[in-house]
Structure 1
Amino acid sequence: MQLAIFDLDNTLIGGDSDHAWGEFLVEREHVDGERYRSANDRFYRDYQRGELDIFAYLEFALEPLAQLSQGQLGNLQRAFMEEVISEIWLPQAEELIAGHRRDGHHIMIITATNRFVVEPIAARLGVDTLLATEPEEVEGRFTGRVAGEPCYQGGKVLRLHQWLAHNPAYAASEKWFYSDSINDLPLLREVEHPVAVDPDPRLRTEAENRGWPVISLRGEE
């Protein structure tokens, strides 16, 4: 049994859903406009440099989930998919997933973005397993806090190992991992088949030095 693992943002979709969700909340006036946008942009720059304080970011990013009602969140989630995610959809990503599925591989997305934002995207892509950062819920309401280990940098390795412990049939399987980001270097080093997808400059250099494949799902390679 083999495992095909994919990062999500800027890998399977042509943008960052986490940052885009923040922009979407600003545009819908559910957060404090310029203050929220400024912080959202600053955290994204930190992420791109590989310097994100993930717990500070999650305190910021998960707060709106606790402030909005379940009805509001459901409506926003659907609108976000229709208005934002549809615009950055990558048909070549669907083709890549389909190829692994034809080969009988288990399809997994592993992403630092929280489950509320990414679950509808993963569902549309038809993946078998989603590992994401988990927003804490109490009695059906988000608390604004994170539950468990954030699925970020080395946390992705930990979360994958936890999943493998509960799914031992895949423990010794060949594994592919596709990512665009230097933040995913810990997991890329773990798998038999690391692939850089439309990589950021630091990951591109790392991939070239290590002889890893570099591909594009945007028709750019």
Structure 2
Amino acid sequence: MTDTQTNRPRLTLFDLDHTLLPIDSDYEWGEFTIRIGWNDPVEFARRNDEFYAHYQAGTLDVHDYVRFATEAVRQRGPEAAAAAHAQFMREVIEPAIHPQARDLLRQHQQAGDDVLIITATNEFVTRPIAKALGVQQLLAMQLARDAQGWYTGEIDGIPTMREGKVRRMEQWLAERRLSWADVESTFYSDSMNDVPLLEKVNHPVATNPDARLRVLAQERGWRILDLFPTGTNQNAQPAPVQDAAP
């Protein structure tokens, strides 16, 4: 729908992890693969925690991480991976979807906004999550595929991380013969990693912001939205689940 003040179509963007979800879906998927026996618990947990700390610090080598994070999926193949992800959705993601997140998305959708999720987490993990949230348009870490159509472990195109989110959005706009000047844009995010895109939009919203982003948002006069109740455990672990392997 067109913004009544600017006469421009409204584009509303959402980060996913810790923004629409009170958890990090990529991290939780890694933990899930440990619980179903797809990865060695000690070694995988050590490396996963190390990568996650780098992500939070803004120092992640995303290509190395994607190779690591998709290794078990690539080894198991499409059928086993799909079955495991369906269990992951039931056991981890669906209980973590808060009504506040659904309400916020619905508010923008009913207003006629063009709504997208843009996330640094890979498409295998996030596409079913976007669907569960009722969002059709997803810009995630796109994974390269081999001749058989299965993941290679490499990234296809621009990584949707930090400045890469801006570049991917500009590609998306250009495909529709639009530019930033043609849309009234809003972006909801929790992370300092997303400052480049927050700076680009008309209406940045620091959502459940980490400590550094909260300070920056206050300094710049950005809107701050605490979507989830105080005390929400953002790293809560679900009960052990059954092995999804065939």
Shorter-chain TM-score range: over 0.9
1:128 and 2:128 correspond: no
Find the counterpart in structure 2 of residue 75 from structure 1: 83
Q: Gaps (5+ residues) in structure 1?
A: none
Identical amino acids, percent of aligned pairs: 43
Q: d(CA) in 2 for partners of 1:95 and 1:201?
A: 25
Q: 2:214 aligns with which of 195, 198, 204?
A: 204
- Show the 5 A alignment for 1:109-124: 109-124=117-132
Q: Give the deviation of 1:173 after TM superposition.
A: 0.7
Work out whether 1:142 is the aligned partner of 2:151: yes
Cα distance in 1, alignment partners of residues 206 and 96 from structure 2: 19
Structure 2 residue 162 is matched with structure 1 residue 153: yes
**Shift in CA distance, 170/125, structure 1 to aligned 2, threshold 3 Å:** farther
How far apart are residue 65 of structure 1 and its match? 2.3
- Backbone CA RMSD of aligned residues: 1.4
What's the CA shift for 1:101?
Answer: 1.1
TM-score, normalising length from structure 1? 0.96
Give the aligned partner of residue 166 of structure 1. Answer: 175
Q: Deviations over 1:199-219 (max 9, x none)?
A: 111111110100001111113
Instruction: Within 5 Å, give how 1:1-221 maps onto structure 2.
Output: 1-138=9-146, 139-169=148-178, 171=180, 172-220=182-230
The range that moved more, 47-56 or 23-32, is 47-56
CA contact (8 A) 2:14 2:20 kept: yes
More moved, 126-135 vs 190-199: 126-135
Structure 1 residues 33 and 220 mapped into 2: Cα distance closer, same or farther (>3 Å)?
A: closer
Deviations 1:2-47 (A, max 9, x none): 1110000000011000000000001111112210111001111111
Which amino acid in 1 is paired with 2:213?
A: L
2: distance between equivalents of 1:82 and 1:17?
A: 13
In structure 2, what is the Cα distance between the partners aligned to 1:164 and 1:131? 12
SS in 1 for 2:12: strand
CA distance in 1, matches of 2:227, 2:87: 25
CA distance in 2, matches of 1:51, 1:87: 30
Residue 220 of structure 1 deviates from its aligned partner by 3.5
